[in-house]
Chains A and B, each alone.
Chain A
C-alpha cells in the first residue's frame, strides 16, 4: 500500500508493461477473458472483411496491462476506482509504457485516498489509454 508520509502530489511511477506485443498474447487474452471477437485473432477476417491493417489488442488487454503498473505501484487490493478511455488501438509489435501521476491526497471517512492520473503510450509516444484511479494509502 502507498505510504502517505512518503507521497507527494506530482509523484510518478512508470513501467514498460509489454514489449513487442505478440499476437499469441492477444489470443491468450481472448481465451482467458472469453472475448473471441475475430478482430483480435483472425487476420484474414480483420484485413479482408473489416479493412484494418492487422488484428489488434482488446481494449481490455491494454487496460489489464495498465492495471499491472497500477497494482505494482499502489499494492494489492488497494484500488477503489480505476477507469480508462481507449484513445488509440494497440497493435501487434507495440511496446507500451504506463504511467501513474499523483494528483491529490485526501482524507475521507477515516481513509487516505490518492487520486491518480493514468496514461499509457506506445513506442511512438502515441497515447493509447488515458484514465484515472483512486487508491488507498496508509
Chain B
C-alpha cells in the first residue's frame, strides 16, 4: 500500500451516508444490497472525498501532537503570528474555499476495494470579484485506481483563494 491508500470499509460508508442524511439501504444494509441489482454495498457518489482521512499530512486535520492547529482553543486562533506556516494573520489558511467539484465514475466503489489516489495539478486562473476581492483558482485532478490498477473514479477539484471573506 502507498501511504495515501484508501481502504474502503462498510462502516465508513455508513457513517458518510449518515452525514449527508442519506438513508438509502444500498449504503448500509448488506442483505438489501446483496439482493439488489448492484449486488453489494456501494459508496455514495461523493465518497472519495473522504480519502482525506488517509492522507497522513492532510492539512485540515489537527495533528496528533496537538501543535500548530489554527482553530480556537484558549485564543480564537491557535495559529502563531510569526513562524513557519503560511497563515501569518491566523486566518489566511481559512481563505481557501471549494469552488467546483467534478466526478467521473468508471465503476461503483465497494467495500474491500483499496483505492490509490494520484493527484496532479491542473489549470490555474484569476478573476476579480465584488464579493471577495481577487480570486485565485487552481484545479487538481485525482485518479483513484483499485488494487488491480483499474481506474474507478476521476475527481477534479477547483479550489479558490479569496482576498477577503465572501460577502453575502
Contact = CB atoms under 8 A, between A and B. Distances in A.
Interface in B150-168: 156, 164-166, 168
Interface stretch (A5-13, A47-55, A107-115): A47-55
Interface residues of A, number: 50
A42 B62 CA distance: 13
B22 A51 contact: no
B71 interface: yes
Interface of B: 12, 15-16, 18-22, 24, 26, 36-38, 42, 44-46, 49-53, 58, 60-62, 70-72, 76-77, 90-91, 94-95, 97-105, 108, 156, 164-166, 168
A64 interface: yes
Query: Which label, helix, strand, loop or mixed, suits the secondary structure of the B interface?
Result: loop
Contacts of B19: 25, 28-29, 31-33, 61, 64
A49 B16 contact: no
Contacts of A99: none
27 contacts: A17-B21, A25-B19, A28-B19, A31-B19, A32-B18, A34-B53, A35-B61, A37-B60, A38-B71, A41-B71, A45-B71, A48-B76, A49-B76, A49-B77, A50-B95, A51-B91, A52-B166, A61-B20, A65-B20, A76-B24, A76-B42, A79-B103, A79-B105, A81-B102, A84-B101, A84-B102, A85-B99
Contacts of B26: 76-77
A106 interface: no
B62 to A, nearest CB: 6
A34 B165 contact: no
Given A32-B12, A45-B77, A83 B102 contact: yes
Nearest to B54: A34
B52 A33 contact: yes
A123 interface: no
A90 B105 CA distance: 26
A76 B72 contact: no
Given A51-B165, A82-B103, A59 B98 contact: yes
A116 interface: no
Nearest to B104: A81
Given A31-B15, A36-B60, A83-B100, A76 B36 contact: yes
A71 interface: yes
A119 B99 CA distance: 15
A137 interface: no
Given A34-B51, A58-B98, 7 more contacts: A33-B50, A48-B77, A49-B76, A53-B168, A59-B101, A68-B24, A79-B45
Nearest to A43: B72
A91 B90 CA distance: 23
Nearest to B107: A77
